[in-house]
Each structure stands twice: as structure tokens, then as C-alpha cells.
Structure 1
């Protein structure tokens, strides 16, 4: 019984925590929840999508995309997570398949190769930098 209690109190490995955070981000994008997305970024996060975006540009970009595509879906595939030996930084690479539109049928679909760097801040994994590049240009 004591072993069950102890194992229940242990933190999940970094890979599991980052995968859970990525699932949270997928759900937030589909729900149009900019707050959850921005909360997953460090205060000094660098997001590069064609060009680097500061935090205000990140927020405006999200709001603009959510208005333009009220119905949207995201699927993350091929997630690879490498953690540093110190257990406080990690790199997650994956392909993001995104599509959206005004109705149920998508008007636009795209796929991106994403390279993200994560840091452990106050017990929570956050994105320190993220770069995305369209798979097909």
C-alpha cells in the first residue's frame, strides 16, 4: 500500500509531462483558447514562423487565425522528445497537421515541421523557443 502511495506522488517523467502539455496545446488550439497557449510559453519565448514574433505578435496572430478559421483541428504526429541530462530542458520535434475553415469542411490544410525547446519552470514545462516550417513549400 505504501508503494502505491509513493508512486502516485512521484512526478511523471519529462517526456510524459511534455506529451501531456502538447495534448493540452492541441486542445487549446481547437478550442480557440489563446490563454492556455500563451501560458505554455516562457516570458521570453522566441517563436519563429517565417519571422520571429514577440509576445504581442504571437497573441495577435493566434486571435487572427482563430477568427479566420472558427472550426479547426490539429494533429501532432511523429513526436520525438529528447531531454537533457539535467532533466530541466528538453527538445520536442514533431509534424503538426492543421486544417480549418468556417464550417465543418476545411477550407485550408497544411503541415509543419516543428522544433521546440522546453524548460522546466516552477514544476511546469514551458516552451522557450519554437520554430515551424511548412513541410511543402
Structure 2
């Protein structure tokens, strides 16, 4: 095999090996953030609760069950729920992370235009629990006037 062919084979092998490596922690975290957004849009309060750490704490001392109930009540009020997330700002730590972003939440009865739309600044704390990223804390405030 000529040297140029061996070099090409080596480069190809390296590219294949790099493509087969496991996702890094930040990529898995971003996928978990996306999955949580998808659970909200799918109106799945159970999947939302599953995304929360066992020691989850939200505003006003909301726990996992309180978050699930809030989601379920929102889904009963609005047939259609939309979530648009702005760019996430991620700060990684060893087994924990912070993700901050702006979110536009919409809700409606299925008409062309939503009945409700609100923008929020959201800050979430994440932890690794049983090998998966879970939301440990969340806080938000209105991003609009």
C-alpha cells in the first residue's frame, strides 16, 4: 500500500473514531434541555416531572410534585402550548451546571393565534442523577414590561 493511501486510511480511521465518540457532558445537557422543551410542547406533565431531580426546588419552594401539578393545570387551561428558547448560556461544573436562557411561552385553544404569550428570563441548575442530567432548580422572572 503506497504511503499516501496509508495516510488517507489513517486520517479516515481517525475521523470515524472521532465521530463514534460519546457525547460530552455539555452536549448531553443541551439535549436534556431540548427534551424538556419538547415535553412541555407535548403537554406531558409526567415527562416534565421525570426531568426533575429528586431534590428539585423551584420558586416559592415548589417541589417536583408541585411542578408536575403546575404543568398539568397549564395543560388543562391551554390545548396548545408552545415554547421558544433563546440561546442557552451554559456554565459547566463537575456533575452540575447552570443554564440560563430567555423563553417565550404561548398557550391557546388551537386557534391561529395564541391566547397568551409571555417572555421570561430563566435560570436553571442541573445535576447528574443516575447518569442523566436533571433539573435541580429553576427560577424565572418576566422579560417584558
Short-chain TM bin: 0.7 to 0.9
Choose between structure 1 and 2: higher helix proportion.
Answer: 2
Aligned positions, number: 132
Partner of 2:30: 19
Work out the CA distance in 2 between the residues paired with 1:6 and 1:22. Answer: 24
**Which consecutive unaligned segments of at least 5 residues does structure 1 have?**
none
| C-alpha RMSD over aligned residues | 1.7
Highest RCO, 1 vs 2 (Cα 8 Å, sep ≥ 6) = 1
Distance apart, 1:5 and its partner CA = 5.2
Q: TM-score, structure 2 length as denominator?
A: 0.83
Matched, 1:81 2:103: no
Structure with higher Rg: it is 2
Q: Is residue 107 of structure 2 the alignment partner of residue 100 of structure 1? A: yes
Q: How does 1:1-137 map to 2 (within 5 A)?
A: 3=14, 4=16, 7-8=19-20, 10-48=21-59, 51-84=60-93, 86=94, 88-104=95-111, 105-137=113-145
Local SS of the residue matching 1:78: coil
Q: Which has the higher strand share?
A: 1
Where structure 2 has 5 or more consecutive residues not aligned to the other structure, the ranges are 1-11
TM-score, reference length from structure 1: 0.87
* CA displacement at 1:30 relative to structure 2: 0.9
